Every structure is written in C-alpha cells, then in structure tokens.
A and B are shown apart, each in its own frame.
Chain A
Amino acid sequence: MKKSLITGFFIFLLTFTAAIIAPLVFMTEYTGRTAMDRMEKLAPLLPEQKFIYFNLLGSSEERFIAVGFYIFLIAFLASLFLGSKILKAIKDLQTAADAVNGGKPAAAVPLPSDGELRDIARAFNSLMLALGQKDAELQRKNHYMGMMVDALWVINDENLVVEINPAFTRLLGYEPEDVLNYRVFEFVDEEGEKILRKHLLGCAQGHSSSCELRLISKPGSLKPVTISWSPIFGEEGEVTECLGILRDFMKETELRSALKEALDYQRAIMDSMPEKLIVLDQDLRIVMANKAASDAAPGGLTGKQCHWAYGYEDCTAADCPVKKVLSTGGPQSEIIGRIAGGQQVHHEVIAYPVENVQGAVRHVVVVFRDITEKRRFEAEIKKKNTELGSLLDISKTLNQSLKSEEVFAPVIEKLLALMGMDGGCVFLLDEMGPELSLKYSKGLSAGFLEENKTFTTGQDIPGKVASTGRIFTTADLTADTRTEASAFRHTGMKACLATPMQGNEKVNGVIMLFSFAGREWTEMDEDLIGGAGQAAGMALENIRRYEKMRQLFTHLKWRRDEERKKVAQVAAAVAGISDPDRMLDSLLVILQDLMQSDFIWLLERDETKGLVVRSAPGGGISRGLAPYGKDVRGLEADALEKGGILTAIGENAEAAFTVPPCLEAGRYKAACAIPVPVGEGGGQPPKWAIGLYFRRFRQPGPEDLSFLRMMADILHMALEKARLHKEASLGKSMAGTILDSIEDGIIAVDPHGSVTAINRTAAVMAGTTGAEAMGRVFTGLFKDNAENARLNLLLIEGLTESLKGRHQYRELAMMTANGMLLPIVLTSYPVLDEGSEGGGVAGVVFALRDLTRNQEITRLKNEFVRAVSQEFKDPVSAILGMSEMLMDGELPAGKEALYLKAILSEGRQIERIMTDYLNLAEIDGGPERLRLSPLDMGKLIADVVREFGPAAARRGIGIGLEIKGGLRPVEGDAAKLKYILRNLLENAITYSGENGSVRIEAAMDADAIALTVKDTGWGIPEADRPHMGEKFYRGSLSGDTKGTGLGLSLSKQIVQMHGGTINIDSIAGEGTTIRLRLPLRRQPGEQNNGD
C-alpha cells in the first residue's frame, strides 16, 4: 500500500515536472530564437554576435536540465511537505482500520484538513458507526438467543438453516457448524419433510403455526419435538426468514400430564370441600364450580354470573367482594345475612385473587361458607364471656378493696349492668346481732330507703334471705303472693332478685336487684347472681378479718412506737443531763408516763435507815426520807432481796403490799417494784429499787415487765455514767481551771484532730467557747481566710509531727475571731499514751503564744535604750566638747573654772541616769534589795526640794514645801526614796509651764507618812492615764523631753516595796496631784498592790 503510494507520488511528480518544465523550456528557446531571427532580419548578426547570443540562450537541453532541476527541487520539497500530511492521514486511517479489525468497531479517524482525505475519513467514520450499531444489535440478538431456554433455528427462503442458538445444541447435540447453511430437510425423515415443507410454506406466506415432528439428533436418534413457526419480516414487509422454536415433545407431554393430574387433584379438593366454591373470570362469569356449588344450583353454574351462586339478584353492588378483589387485587371477605326458609342464615363469602404470571388478577376464587351455626354459637360465647368478665371484675373489686363500703357500689353497678336491671341495694347483717342494715342502694327512692333502713333476720325479703341463705326471685313483686306484706312492693319495681352474701362461715348480708319491668328469672341468672353474692360475702368476711388484724397490728405498732419514743427520750435524757439527780428525775418521769402509773420513786438501801428516797419526781416527798421506817419491809425491799421485779395487785391490794405511810392509804390499787443494779460488776447486790404505784388495778403484762427490766438497765447505765461524769468533771474542772489560767492559747486534740480540750485564751482567739469547740476538727476552729491558711497548715503539720513523737515550734501570724492580726508562736507537743506499750501518741497539745506583748516589750526596750542613749548624749557632748576646748586652750579668759564645773555637773547627770537604770535592775530583783535604815523623811524631802530650787527658779516655777507636825522616822531605803522624790519633783517641774507652781506637803497619817506633790502643770492626758506607772511608758507630752519612761514606774515599785501606796490624780490642763503613803515600818512579806 505504502509502496504503491510512493510510486504514485513519483509518477505524479515526474508528470508534473514534464508538463510544466518542457513547455516552459521550449517556449523560452523559441522566444529566444524568434528574437534572434528578428534581430538578424533587422541587421545581419556577426558570427561572434551569433555565438554570444547562442551561448546566452544555450542549448535547449542545457536549459531544460537547469530549469527542470530547480522546478523539480521546488516541487519535490512542496510535495514532501504535503505528502507527509497525507501520509499521517493515511496512517490514522490505517490505525483505525486495524482497530476495527481488532474488534473495536467504534474506532474513529481524526478528520485531516485536506478535503478529499477528510471525506474519506468521514465516510470511514460513518461506516464504523453503522458497523458498531449493527454489531451491538447482533450481540443483543445473540445474547437473547443464547439466553433462550427453548431451542430455535432460523430457516431462510432457500430452506437453509441460517441460525441456531445454544439451546438447539443442547436439545439436538449439533454444533453451529454442523447445522448452519445445511438444508433444513436433512434433519428430518420423509414424513417430517412433508410436514416441514407445509409449515415453511405457510410461514413464507406470513402465517404462524406449530407442528409436531421428529428431528434427527446428532447421535442419530429421532427426537419428537414441537415446533412453533413464525415468519420474520424484512424491511418492506416481505417474509425473509422463518423462525422455528423447538420444544422437547416428551417434556411437554410430561408437563401436560402433570398439569392434568394437578387439575384433577384440585378438582378433587374442590369437590371435597363442604363449602361452595366457584371460580370467576374477569367478567364475573363462573368458569368453574365445585360439587357443593354445582349441587346447590341445578342447571349448572358454568357461564353464569357470580350472583347465581349465592342467590344474589344483582352483583353490581360496589361492595361485591368479587369486584373488590378485582379492583384491589387483595383477598376480601363479607358476611351476608338473609332469611332462608323462615330462618336467619349467615354466609361468609371469601374471595381470593388468582394472579397470572404478570401479577394481574385473571380469576377470582369465591368460597361460600354457611356460618349461621357459628354465629349463633358466637353470640352465646360472647354473652358467657361478658358474664365471666363481670364476675371477674366483681371479684377483683372485692379483693382489691379493703373497705366494705367501697365494695358495694361497683358490685351493684356491675350486676345491674350485667343483668339489665334498674335498681339494687345491699343489706349487711350485724356481726353480733340479728339486724340487717342498708349499706348501699341505687335506683331506689330516698323516701322508701329512709323508712326501710333495717330489717331483722326473718323479716321481709332480706330477712328471709339472710336467715335461709337461699336466693329469692320474683318476676313481679306486685303480683307475687309471697310478697304481699313486703315493703318492697312500694318501690315501684316489679322483678326482684335477692341473694345472700354467703361467706365461709355465715351469711353476711343480702344483695337485692330490681327492675321496673317484670322478668322471668332463669336458672343461669340465679347462678350468676348467687355467685356474685357468694363472692361478695366471702370478700366481706376477708375484709372484716383484715380490719380486725389491722386494728390489732395498729395497736401493737402504736405500743412499739410509744416504747421506742420513750426509750429515745430516756436515752436523750441520759445523754443530755450531767447532773445525776436531774437525770434520775427525768428518767422516772418518763417511766411513770409510759407505765401510766400514778406515783413513782427510786429508793436506795441505806445501811442504817433501811430504804431511803433517792428521787421522787412527783413532789412532796423529800430526798433522804426513809418512808417505811426501820422495821417495815416494803415491796421495794422484797424486790431487792429477790433480785427481780415484783408486782402486787388484787381486789384487796393493800393487803398484798405495805403502802408506805407517806402515801395516801387506800388510793393505790396496784404496785410494782424493780430493782436497779448499780455499781460495777455483777458481784454486788442491787442497792436501788424503783417503786411504781397505780390507783387502778393493773397487771403489768410480760411486755411491760421486759420493758421495765430494760429501763432498769438503762437507769443503771445512766447512774454509772452520772457517777463517772461527776468524777471526770471534778478532774476536768481542775484541769480546765489550770488551762484557763494559762495566757497562751492551748488546744488539745486527739490523733484524728478532734478537739478534746481548749482553754479560754484559745477559745477567744477562735471566737468560740470551750463547749462549742469540743469534738470539732481543730483546723475548722479559726476564721477561714487567707491569713489563717498558714495556721491551719502548721496545725496539721504539728499534728503529723507530734504523732511521730516530735514537737514543733513555728512563728506565724494568725487572725483572731475579732479580726486582729496576731503574731504568734505555735508549739505542738505530743501527748504520750501512758497506757500503750509502744509509747503511742494519745493526742497533741498546741500552744499559741501571742507575741504581741513580747514584741511590745521588745519595742519598749529598744525605745528605752534609745532614750537612755539620748539622755547620755547631751552630758557626754558637753563633757567631750568642753574638754576639747579646754585642751585646745581657746577659752575666753577666766572661763576654765566654769567649764570644769560644767564637766563635773554633766558627769553627775550621767551618774543620775545610770542610777535610774541600776535602780530598775535592782527593783526587778525584789524588795530584798532594799537597804533599810530609819530615815528622817522631813529632812530627806527638804534636801531634794533644795536640789531642785535652781531648776525651778530658771523656769519661774515656785516650789512650796509644808511639813505638818513632826514626822516619825521611816524604815526605808534612803537612796531609793530620794529617787522617788526627785522623780516626782522633776516631773512636776518638767511638765509645768513657766510661772507654774509645785507644792509639797507631808504629814503623819496613823502609822504612815502621807506626802502630796501637787503641780499646776499640763496634767496627764486621758489616754495616758491607764498607762501611767508602766515601765518605759512615756506620756504623749513627753515627746521631746528628756526621760527614760522609768521614773514613775520605778517610783511605784519602790513605794510598793516599802509597803506604801502611790496615787495619781490628774486633770488635763490643770495639773497633777501625786499622793504617796509610806508606812513607818514595812510588814514582812507585805507588798501592797494598791495604786
């Protein structure tokens, strides 16, 4: 293909070259020669000219070659370009063709630009499309044919077999190559050929037909088959081929016989049915009817309309079940009732759809069933069921309800509804007497009921029924001779039934039912209502029995509850009261209340007096009284001796026990004595006994006795507890007092952190009381806030450490209940359990020491040191400065002596300060440090006043001294007393303004000297007064004055050491008066604390 194409191409090229080049060359040469000839004609050309022209023109061959070569080259290049495109298009075509060969009929060729080639490609593509469609069609056909169960062959007009399917091969054993393009007659015998020809002819004329014949199968045997022939029409309506569908004749026969059998079987079944059965077609025509149906319709049913079957005149009604089956496609049923032969008969018509293969309803099977009997039976059953249901309801009501009154309403209502009656009532027979009383009624007039509420047994209908226990019925009360005298004649009712409410033991009442109309009572009615009456009677008995049980139980329960309550009260009394006498009283009151006794007491055996009253809460009898006297034995004494409870009771009870003289004789009819075991261990005989006295006869039951025993035990325990409590509280109060006297907060906890003891300081810190804090978890004691978080943490840490036997010391800040932030030291100590062998920790004691005071003292001390050092600084400054100037010799003339004097004076000032300081140290050592000697106080005072003269004069302060009478000598420490006086005077002068005055008075007052120092100074401000005399305390006015804050404090202490007193009276702005009282002789060991 390619080769021929290339050859063709070269031929085209050569032809083209020849066709174009040759004329061009010849024409050029011709034109040249013509031009040369013309030139020659005009003028003869020289041979050289000619030669030149000829050379110019060249030979035609030469030209041809040259020009041809160039044209050829151009044409070659052009065609090479075009040719490559063509080649590509051809190649595409080739590829597509290969694809088609390879089984891809849908292959398409891209359309090239060249017109002709495009047309070719387009034609190719449409051809391929058609091919593809055809191919798909063929495939489908083959698929169908292959899928066909029945064998088929196709015979063309030349009687050649042109097609078979796989089923054909299966049926006859021939492969396609064995059959295709063979004459059809080669597969039949002669007879068969005849039949075949006839049918093929018919088929060729466009008729369908079928035939039975024998085909020769591949193994050579003859196979009987049925062939259905159908013509295959061509496009113009002509018959092109004949299609024959072959079926195995033998199989067909089998199937047919099976079908027949089935039909026969069906027929037999249909005929055996007692119900009429018909089969209808879509037009409601009967196509089949069973024997029962046919027998009922003489003259046959087949072909008739359905209603013939069951006597319907018309079956056009919309509710005709057959029609419904046809319209809905689902089975239908209908009950048809009609009168036949004077009787109501019922038929049930059931219609079933019979669907064909496509699911369309083609036939309807209708079954008629006579249900007349069944329906009658059903009604009966329904009635029975209703009755049973009602009875069941009644018995349910009876069983469920526990109150007899609640029972009757539903029972009567049910019975009335069940029996179709109009009224009813219930009479109950009194449990004890012969009386029947009305409990419930319905439908009877109120007037009648008002007059006939009760009957006695034997009286009227209910009385008779109750006494006989038999049902009474009457069809008409007004006409019945038996009821001539009955009150029920006036109810307006006619029919009446009265049934006894028969229980297991006896008749409990009567149920009566009435109706306005007369009524004949059947045996069944009587049975039914009698049954209901019996159920009601039995239920009533049960209810009554239950009621009794309930009452009994309620009473018992009440009694138990009471006892429990009392025991709880007792327990509460025992737990809550720490005073044993009060506790005993409460217990006895409770016991008396529970036993419903009229008098109670507790007696105690006394060695000398016999029995004495320990507690008698009733009042009137005092504790310690011996009620029986020494020689009389009481019930209590007997009980103590016996060691158990004794009771005395009787018509003449007083003879049975000796009523103590203090109780009113003749008032008490019964008594009971219970010994109370007191004291540890069982060895000791009981010493205590309770006596209970009753004003009415009372025999305590076994329950009472056991309860009393229990109470005695409780009492015993309570007394024990009280005793222990008393002992404990004694020890505890002592410990408590000690604890409370400690300034530190003390909290004791058990190993679980529950507070077991807390002193007052700690309780105040926590804002609680000792009683409140007891038993609480210790970390919850203090204000719960951020400030106390560390405290709680350290408390826990302290507990943990202490449980390990270690103590702990921590400084921290805590917030007290009143919101004060306190610096404290928290110390925790383990409390070792002496009882335990391993030295276990029984608890932890926490001590919270308020550091505020310590810190204050520290602050004051610092302040003191500072003040003292300042005090020193002035004299030291003077001494140093002056010495310096003296040494430098730069003093004004004659001033040296003055300087030296000043140095001396300042040295003394230093000494004075030091004395103060030393006095402080000395005084802290106690009164023993005093150097006592008889002193002339008058002189001592005068000396000191003189000392202050110049200082006072400088400030313009006048000092007045008055010593009244003679002062007797005082036993005292001269230096210290002088110190006091100096201090007082110094204060008076320092805290007075210019031109003030200080007045000193001294006089004897009994065995003491009374000294008063009064100034007209600034006085002591209110705020300072409570602190006056405290160590290091300096008043608010002292800010810039010299002083140690010790003077008054020291003075106070010195006076006290001398057994004297010192009082300060001051009015701010007016002045201060100090009153000092100094005894002549100090009493040994005396230290007056007054101030």
Chain B
Amino acid sequence: MSKIMVIDDEPFILMMIEDKLKRAGFQVITQRDSSTAAERIRQERPNLVILDWIMPGVSGIEICREIKSDAELAKIPVVMLTARGQEDDERLGLKCGVDRYIVKPFSPKALLENVIEILGAGEDRPA
C-alpha cells in the first residue's frame, strides 16, 4: 500500500485530502507543522509527498529542497499544492525538484488523478 504524506497548515485542506486519498486506498499521513515535516518524512519514508508552499515557519519549497538534496529521499515524488499560481512560482517550484505543481483552488478528484498517475498505483487500492 502506497504511503502518502500530506503537509499543510490548513486543517480543512489536510482533512479533505486525507479523506480523499484514504478512500482511494492510499495510506495517508498528515503533518501540519512544517518545521518537523522533513524529520517525519525521514521516519515515515512515504511513497509520495504532497506539500503546501505557504506555511508559517518552514515553507513547502524548503521542505522540497531538503527532500531532493537527501540522497535517500530524493526519489520520493513531490506534489506541490499551492496558492502561488504565477508562472515564476511554478518555475521556481519545478527547479527545486517538485514533480507535479497543482495550483489552488484545486479539485480533490484532480489531485487524486495526479497521485495515481505518479504512483502508477491502483493495485493496492481496495476494490
């Protein structure tokens, strides 16, 4: 079962994503505090990370950089889920190693499709 870690400071968004992904059969770990997010990733070794950009304390982009610069974690795909929809922002995100850039507001359905596309999964999904 693929393990997905969702990091966002907004509890409602977090809840919504968690529910959507769990229903699709993924194991979901949520994290609101960005400052300990990287540590959590190292512990949990998720198959995918969904990151908010704008968070108090450590920003999503910093977490992404940390993941991508750590040889053991670098292979974990990162989906950036952000309100920053400017072209420059997207460029910066991709430069930092973001695998998929999704601009808020977003449809949970579309997010799920993206996740499935990246993980190629489905086999773990309960029928």
Contacts and interface: CB of A to CB of B under 8 A. Distances in A.
Contact of A873 (B15, B19, B83, B108): B83
Contacts of A1040: 53-56, 59-60
A873 B22 CA distance: 24
B86 interface: yes
Nearest to A902: B12
A904 to B, nearest CB: 10
A885 B23 CA distance: 11
B76 to A, nearest CB: 22
Contacts of B55: 1040
Contacts of B54: 870, 1040-1042
Interface in B60-95: 60, 83-86
B108 A881 contact: yes
Contacts of A866: 86
Interface residues on B, range: 20 to 34
Nearest to A955: B56
B104 A876 contact: yes
Given A866-B86, A873-B104, A1040-B59, A878 B19 contact: no
A1041 B10 contact: no
A906 interface: yes
Contacts of B109: 884, 888
Contacts of A882: 12, 16
Interface stretch (A521-529, A850-858, A889-897): A889-897
A877 B10 CA distance: 10
B105 interface: yes
Interface in A1030-1045: 1039-1042
Interface in B1-46: 10, 12-13, 15-17, 19-20, 22-23
A880 interface: yes
A1019 to B, nearest CB: 16
Contact of A870 (B13, B16, B83, B107): B83
Contacts of B56: 990, 1040-1041
Interface in A1008-1064: 1039-1042
B15 A885 contact: no
A553 B20 CA distance: 119
Contact of A895 (B13, B19, B59, B83): B19
> For the complex, would chain A's binding face be called helix, strand, loop or mixed by DSSP majority?
helix
A924 interface: no
Contacts of A1041: 54, 56
A905 interface: yes
A881 B23 contact: no
A667 B20 CA distance: 118
Contact of B13 (A871, A874, A884, A990): A874
B81 to A, nearest CB: 8
B106 A881 contact: yes
Given A870-B84, A873-B83, A885 B59 contact: no
Given A884-B109, A1041-B54, A905 B19 contact: no
Nearest to A993: B57
A485 interface: no
Contacts of B107: 880-881, 884
Given A885-B19, A895-B19, A878 B108 contact: no
Contact of B108 (A871, A885, A906): A885
Contacts of B84: 870
A898 interface: yes
Contacts of A874: 10, 13, 83, 104
Given A866-B86, A870-B84, A877 B105 contact: yes
A1015 B65 CA distance: 31
A899 B85 CA distance: 26
Contacts of A905: 12
Contacts of B22: 892
A885 B16 contact: yes
A1078 B23 CA distance: 54
Contacts of A870: 54, 83-84
A882 B60 CA distance: 23
A881 B83 contact: no
Interface string A508-536: 00000000000000000000000000000
Given A877-B105, A905-B12, A890 B23 contact: yes
Nearest to A876: B105
A892 B20 CA distance: 9
Nearest to A879: B105
B33 to A, nearest CB: 8
Contact of B106 (A869, A877, A899, A1042): A877
Contacts of A869: 83
Interface string A183-225: 0000000000000000000000000000000000000000000
A881 B53 contact: no
Contact of A891 (B13, B19, B104): B19
A7 B89 CA distance: 132
A879 B107 CA distance: 10
A674 to B, nearest CB: 83
A894 to B, nearest CB: 12
A866 B15 CA distance: 26
Given A870-B83, A873-B83, A895-B19, A881 B59 contact: no
A878 B16 contact: yes
A881 B86 contact: no
Nearest to B81: A877
A1024 to B, nearest CB: 17
Nearest to A1037: B56
A46 to B, nearest CB: 144
A877 B107 CA distance: 8
A927 to B, nearest CB: 34
A890 to B, nearest CB: 6
B51 to A, nearest CB: 12
A594 to B, nearest CB: 80
A873 B107 CA distance: 12
A878 B111 CA distance: 13
A879 B105 CA distance: 9
B35 to A, nearest CB: 8
A990 B56 CA distance: 7
A367 to B, nearest CB: 126
B105 A873 contact: yes
B10 to A, nearest CB: 5
A321 to B, nearest CB: 122
A1002 B109 CA distance: 50
B73 to A, nearest CB: 21
A884 B15 contact: no
Interface of A: 866, 869-871, 873-874, 876-882, 884-885, 888, 890-892, 895, 898-899, 902, 905-906, 990, 1039-1042
7 contacts: A873-B105, A874-B83, A877-B104, A881-B17, A881-B107, A890-B23, A1040-B60
Given A866-B86, A869-B83, A882-B16, 13 more contacts: A870-B84, A873-B104, A874-B10, A876-B104, A878-B10, A878-B13, A878-B16, A880-B107, A881-B16, A890-B23, A990-B56, A1040-B56, A1041-B56
Top 3 A-B residue pairs of the complex, sorted by shortest distance between their CB atoms: A873-B83, A877-B105, A1040-B59
Interface of B: 10, 12-13, 15-17, 19-20, 22-23, 53-56, 59-60, 83-86, 104-109
